Structure 1
C-alpha cells in the first residue's frame, strides 16, 4: 500500500526536482501540495508547482496556497539563487487556473482530521506552525513528518549559522 503524503514546499529549483521525484515514486501517493513563501514568493511558488505538475502530466494533484510571509522575520526570498522565475531562468510557459476553494492550512486540517498521512516539508515550516496554532489535534495526526533543513559541519546558506528553511 502506498504511503499517503502531503508535500509542503516553496518551489524553487530544489523543491521542483523533489516534486518530480515524489510524483514518480511508486511508494507514495501525493494527496496534495501546499505552498509556503520561501525560495520564491507565494504566487511564484504556486506558478512553479503548476508547471511541474503539467510537466509530469499530474494536473490531478491539488495545490493549496499557504503563508505568504514568515511568522517572525520580514520575508526574504532566495531568487538570487533560484533565478528570477524561481526555476533557474527556465521561463517555462505559465499554467492557467488551478485555484482551490480553501487555503493550505484548511486543507491540512481537513485531510488530517479524516486520516493520518505523512508530511514532507521541503520549505520553511510556516504552514505547519499555523496548523499547530489552529488545530493541534490535526497536527498530532501526522503519521510521519520529514523536513528538509539544517546543516551539519558547514556554514548555513542564509547566514553564517542558519540554513534558509530553518532561518
Structure 2
C-alpha cells in the first residue's frame, strides 16, 4: 500500500490529481492539507471537501494551513481556475467547513509522518509554505518521508506568473528555497516546462468530452479553464493545437505509479530569492558549483499512455 499525504491549493488540476490517486487500489491518502494559492485557504478547504464528497471519501481528514507566504507577500494566481479555484461552478450541497479538522495542517503533516516513519510520500502541488514550516518545526521531518513529489519550479527560465517564475515557487520563493535545500529525502519535481511538453489530447466534441469528463462534477469545474484555454493568450501557451495540461497530476502520477517515470535529470537545485526578474525562479546547477550532496530528480520523460490511463481511471 502506497501511503500519501497531499498538500494542495485545490484548483482544478489539484482536484484531478486527488481523483487520480483515489482510482488506484493500492494508494491510501492519510490526510490533505490546504494552503493559500489558487484561491484563499478557506476556498481551498471547501474545494477539497467537494472533491472528497464526489469521490465518497469524506472520511479523509482535511487540515487548514497557511493563509499567506512566509514573508506575507501575495502573488495572485489569476482567474484561470475561477475565483473559487474550481471554475466558479455552483454547488449548493457542498460540505460545510465544520468538517475541517481542528488540528492545523503543519502539525498534522508532522504527526502523520511520525506515525508512519519511512512509509509516507508527500505530494505537494501548491506553494510550499506548509511544507517549509514543517521542516522548520521538525528538522528531522524530511528524513522520515519516503519521498517528496513537487509540482513547481522551472528549468528554462520560462515563467507562467512572473518573467522567470512558475506560480507555486513564485508565490512563496522563501518556502521553495527552504524545501529544496533542507529536504534530503528523494525529491521528484514536475516543472512547468515539463508539463508543457507533456500535453494530453484536447477534445472538443461533445461525445468525447463526455468520455473524458464522465463525472458531471469534473465537467462543471473544468468548464471555466477549458474556455480560458481557448482565449488567444493562453492558447499559445497551453494548447498549441496539441493538448491540455493538468499540471499537478504529473507529480501525483509519479508518486502512485512506479512505472510512469521513464527518465529524470539528477541535479542539485535551489531557488533565486533576489533580482528584479528572477525572484522565485528554480536554479538548476548543471556545473556542480553549489557542491550539494543532495540532488533532485527532475522529471524529463514519462509514459504518457500510462498517464492518460491514470487520468481516465480518475474520471470513471
Q: Give the TM bin, normalised by the shorter chain.
A: over 0.9
Contact 2:8 2:34 in 1 (8 A): yes
Computed over aligned residues only, the root mean square deviation of the Cα atoms, in angstroms, reads: 1.5
Contact 1:6 1:31 in 2 (8 A): yes
Where in structure 1 are there 5+ consecutive unaligned residues? none
**Following the alignment from structure 2 to structure 1, what is the Cα–Cα distance between the partners of residues 9 and 157?**
23
Indicate the larger mover: 48-57 or 18-27.
Answer: 18-27
Rg larger in structure: 2
Which of the pair has the greater relative contact order for Cα pairs under 8 Å at 6+ separation? Answer: 1
Question: Residue 45 of structure 1: CA displacement?
Answer: 0.4
Which residue pairs with 2:70 in the alignment? 71
SS class of match (2:13): helix
Answer yes or no: is 1:145 the counterpart of 2:121.
no
**Following the alignment from structure 2 to structure 1, what is the Cα–Cα distance between the partners of residues 139 and 90?**
39
Question: Residue 58 of structure 1: CA displacement?
Answer: 0.7
Which residue pairs with 2:104 in the alignment? 103
Question: Residue 88 of structure 1: CA displacement?
Answer: 1.3
Which one has the bigger helix percentage?
2
Q: How many residues are matched?
A: 166
SS class of match (2:91): coil
Question: Residue 139 of structure 1: CA displacement?
Answer: 2.9
Question: Residue 79 of structure 1: CA displacement?
Answer: 4.5
**Following the alignment from structure 1 to structure 2, what is the Cα–Cα distance between the partners of residues 133 and 151?**
24
Indicate the larger mover: 79-88 or 119-128.
Answer: 79-88
SS class of match (1:146): strand
SS class of match (2:106): helix
Question: Residue 120 of structure 1: CA displacement?
Answer: 0.4
Indicate the larger mover: 68-77 or 36-45.
Answer: 68-77
SS class of match (1:29): strand
**Following the alignment from structure 1 to structure 2, what is the Cα–Cα distance between the partners of residues 89 and 28?**
30
SS class of match (1:113): helix
**Following the alignment from structure 1 to structure 2, what is the Cα–Cα distance between the partners of residues 115 and 58?**
21
Which residue pairs with 2:169 in the alignment? 166
TM-score by length of 1: 0.93
TM-score by length of 2: 0.50
Answer yes or no: is 1:115 the counterpart of 2:130.
no
Contact 1:112 1:139 in 2 (8 A): no
